[in-house]
Amino acid sequence: QQQVRQSPQSLTVWEGETAILNCSYEDSTFDYFPWYHQFPGESPALLIAIRPVSNKKEDGRFTIFFNKREKKFSLHIADSQPGDSATYFCAASAYNYAQGLTFGLGTRVSVFP
C-alpha cells in the first residue's frame, strides 16, 4: 500500500515554463513533507521541505503548496531550466521522523530548451 502517492510519473516542460508535481498522503500523523531531487548517477538530495504550520514554502524558484484538509502537497518549479531535469521525490514522515521517510515513486522531469 502506497502511503505517499505521486503524479505524474514523468513530465516534460519547455524552458521558462512552470512544472507542477503532485503528491497526496494518507497517514494523518505525517507532519513533515520534503521534496528530494536526484540527478542521473547521483544520490537523492533534499530540495525543500514544509511542515503543516504553513501552507506555502518558497525557496527561489521552488515552492511547496500544502493542503492539510485534502492531504495534498505539490512542488512548483517556476521558470524551469534544463539543469532542473532530474527525478523528484516527494516524501513524508511523522513527527518522530527517526522512523525514516516514506517516499513517493518519483516524477521524472525533463526540461527542454
Partner 1 sequence: EAAVTQSPRNKVTVTGGNVTLSCRQTNSHNYMYWYRQDTGHGLRLIHYSYGAGNLQIGDVPDGYKATRTTQEDFFLLLELASPSQTSLYFCASSDDGQGNTGQLYFGEGSKLTVL
**Which positions touch partner 1 (CB under 8 A)?**
6, 32, 34, 36, 43-46, 49, 89, 93, 97-106
The three grid cell numbers given for residue 110, joined into one nine-digit string: 525533463
CB of 9 to partner 1, least distance (A): 9
Kind of pairing between the strands at 107-112 and 10-14: parallel
- Work out the number of other CB atoms within 10 angstroms of the CB of residue 72: 14
* 82 membership: H or E segment, kind and range: none
Nearer to partner 1, 54 or 99 (CB): 99
Nearer to partner 1 by C-beta: 17 or 97?
A: 97
Q: What is the DSSP letter of 101?
A: P
Q: How far is the CB of 79 from partner 1 (least distance, A)?
A: 25
